[in-house]
């Protein structure tokens, strides 16, 4: 599909999300709070499906990856050791005229198409000066020099702010895996190479406009720290590169809108010897943006935590009879960006006719059944007790036999009900009509091509399981 015929726009995705209860603006009745979003009834289901599938894929199905569920608050020294206190900064410029604030790197990337990750604020200020960049808000050439701004949220432990101790809300889930690495090892279940996986909230004081749920103050990450022998980093890196590609296919994201971008030397983070970004081509002006990251973090984190905590974090390799600090390869997945990409990739519009034969646009989400909020809907053709009885019985049976969410809807005309299911990505509808009373069959209607077929009611659960697993 070319860009011209891909009908998704960020505006349409945001509107559909609000209309159908996928994502709401945070604190909506108070006018919202910038860059915060809440998942509604259907969004909560999509999110759970994605997290469960990820956990099944990368923890349950891999014998050498174990899970962790750590706290958001950690000892402040953790963030000194990790480099976040020193390095987790965004270069910001302010406008002297209208007081708006911008990321200097984003301004340069957007206006000049130049990658500046890794450059100092002074270097960025020079680029802004030279190109005569103006404030995107008011248009005046009154931008300040770029300054570093730490992106970690702070809070205090203790009843009185002034005397309490300052702590940070974690800006990534990764550090807990390093901090608990020794305890995980001591449980005796793991040997190199092994991974520790975690899904959880992370917080960043982002000032850039968010592009819907792409960039939020509070978001979720799914991360794995994969510990390997000191010379094992590059092999593990390639394996994880493939595994990440496989994951995107598993959730149904089309290859053509995904690319893998290698970080240049001067763009690499302070801890990394090699990093790639998985980028997705969003519609419209957003274009290619980071979806996931994969980094070879070397032994940086364990070395730092060993030094800052004073604990020996070396690994004893029995086969080689020696101690060393493992190296770490880190695949990192944003939950929210996964949801966004799944929605954008699945969104489609088709020109068709409505029940009265008038031209109409069918909006549908071609979501993979694995992540669709409802796996199926049971619909009595009309709201009549005799039909409802059969439909309810089928619905109850599906609920009992299938560990997934099923929809039941009996109000409004059947065409409208199908359209509603199309818009929320329900892959199959089972319709009970008067014939069903005689032949004990239902019509299955397929979301993607509106094909209809007849199957025996008794076969429905097995038929569905086959298609959603
Ligand atoms: P960006 O350059 O877009 O700010 P990043 O390089 O800082 O992202 P990482 O630190 O690599 O991101 O974070 C790992 C993953 O967490 C990202 O690939 C992304 O999926 C997700 N992520 C990071 N920041 C946010 C955010 N503010 N809102 C939602 N997801 C985020």
Q: What is the pLDDT along the chain (469 residues), one digit of tens a residue?
A: 445 578 999 999 999 999 999 999 999 999 999 999 999 999 999 999 999 999 999 999 999 999 999 999 999 999 999 999 988 988 999 999 988 888 899 899 889 988 888 788 899 999 999 999 999 989 999 999 999 899 999 999 987 766 678 899 999 999 999 999 999 999 978 899 999 999 999 999 988 777 999 999 999 999 999 999 999 999 999 999 999 999 999 999 999 999 999 998 888 888 888 999 999 999 999 999 999 999 999 999 999 999 999 999 999 999 999 999 999 999 999 999 999 999 999 999 999 887 788 898 999 999 999 999 999 999 999 999 999 999 999 999 999 999 889 999 999 999 999 999 999 999 999 999 999 999 999 999 999 999 999 999 999 999 999 999 8
The residue whose CA has the least distance to atom 24 of ligand 1 is 215
What is the extent of the structural domain holding 195? 10-74+153-343
- Residue 307 in domain: yes
Q: How far is the CA of 29 from the centre of ligand 1 (A)?
A: 28
Tell me how far the alpha carbon of residue 214 lies from the centroid of ligand 1, in angstroms.
9
Q: Is the CB of 215 under 6 A from ligand 1?
A: yes
Considering the domain architecture, whether residues 275 and 416 belong to the same structural domain is answered as no
**Pair (186, 289) in one structural domain:** yes
Same domain for 273 and 300, yes or no, is yes
Is 117 touching ligand 1 by the criterion CB < 6 Å?
no
Do 226 and 339 lie in one domain? The reply is: yes
Q: Whose CA is nearest to atom 28 of ligand 1?
A: 215
Same domain, yes or no, for 136 and 254? no
* Nearest atom of ligand 1 to the alpha carbon of 334: 20
What total number of domains does the chain contain? Answer: 3
Cβ of 337 closer than 6 Å to ligand 1, yes or no, is yes
- Per-residue model confidence (pLDDT) at position 1: 46
Q: Tell me how far the alpha carbon of residue 235 lies from the centroid of ligand 1, in angstroms.
A: 25
Centroid of ligand 1 to alpha carbon of 334 (angstroms)? 7
Q: Residue 426 maps to which CATH number?
A: 3.40.50.800
> Are both 50 and 177 inside the same structural domain?
yes
* Residue 146 and residue 173 in one domain: no
pTM of the model: 0.92
Question: 41 and 136 in one domain?
Answer: no
Residue 79 lies in a domain: no
pLDDT value, residue 350: 94
Task: Provide the token pair at 73.
Answer: 């608050």
Residue 95 resides in a domain: yes
Q: Would you say residue 420 lies in a domain?
A: yes
């Amino acid at each position: 599909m070319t860009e011209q015929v891909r009908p998704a726009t960020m505006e349409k995705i945001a509107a559909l999300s609000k209309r159908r209860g996928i994502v709401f603006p945070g604190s909506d009745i108070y006018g919202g709070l910038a860059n915060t979003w809440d998942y509604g009834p259907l969004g909560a289901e999509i999110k759970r499906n994605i997290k469960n599938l990820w956990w099944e894929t990368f923890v349950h199905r891999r014998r050498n990856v174990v899970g962790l569920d750590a706290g958001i608050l950690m000892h402040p020294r953790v963030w000194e050791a990790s480099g976040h206190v020193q390095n987790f900064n965004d270069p910001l410029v302010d406008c002297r005229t209208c007081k708006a604030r911008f990321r200097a790197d984003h301004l340069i990337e957007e206006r000049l198409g130049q990658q500046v990750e890794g450059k100092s604020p002074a270097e960025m200020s020079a680029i802004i000066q030279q190109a005569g960049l103006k404030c995107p808000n008011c248009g005046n050439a009154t931008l300040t020099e770029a300054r570093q701004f730490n992106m970690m949220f702070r809070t205090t432990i203790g009843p009185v702010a002034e005397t309490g101790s300052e702590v940070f809300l974690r800006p990534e889930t990764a550090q807990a895996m390093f901090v608990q690495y020794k305890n995980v090892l001591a449980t005796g279940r793991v040997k190199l190479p092994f991974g520790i996986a975690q899904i959880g909230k992370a917080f960043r004081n982002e000032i850039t406009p968010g592009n819907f749920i792409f960039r939020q103050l509070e978001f979720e990450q799914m991360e794995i720290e994969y510990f390997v022998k000191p010379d094992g980093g590059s092999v593990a890196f390639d394996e994880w590169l493939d595994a990440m590609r496989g994951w995107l296919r598993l959730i149904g994201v089309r290859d053509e809108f995904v690319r893998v971008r290698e970080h240049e030397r001067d763009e690499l983070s302070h801890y990394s010897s090699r990093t790639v970004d998985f980028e997705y081509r969003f519609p419209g002006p957003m274009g290619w943006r980071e979806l996931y990251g994969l980094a070879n973090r070397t032994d940086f984190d364990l070395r730092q935590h060993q030094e800052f905590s004073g604990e020996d974090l070396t690994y004893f390799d029995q086969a080689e009879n020696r101690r060393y600090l493992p190296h770490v390869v880190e695949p990192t997945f944003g939950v929210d960006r996964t949801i966004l990409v799944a929605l954008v990739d699945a969104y489609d519009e088709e020109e068709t006719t409505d029940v009265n034969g008038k031209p109409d646009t069918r909006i549908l989400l071609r979501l993979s059944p694995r992540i669709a909020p409802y796996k199926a809907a049971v619909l009595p053709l009309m709201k009549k007790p005799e039909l409802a009885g059969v439909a309810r019985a089928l619905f109850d049976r599906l609920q009992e036999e299938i560990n997934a969410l099923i929809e039941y809807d009996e109000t409004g005309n059947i065409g409208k009900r199908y359209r509603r299911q199309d818009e929320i990505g329900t892959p199959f509808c089972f319709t009970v009509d008067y014939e069903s009373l005689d032949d004990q069959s239902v019509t299955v209607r397929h979301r993607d091509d509106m094909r209809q077929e007849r199957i025996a009611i008794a076969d429905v659960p097995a038929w569905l399981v086959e298609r959603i697993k």
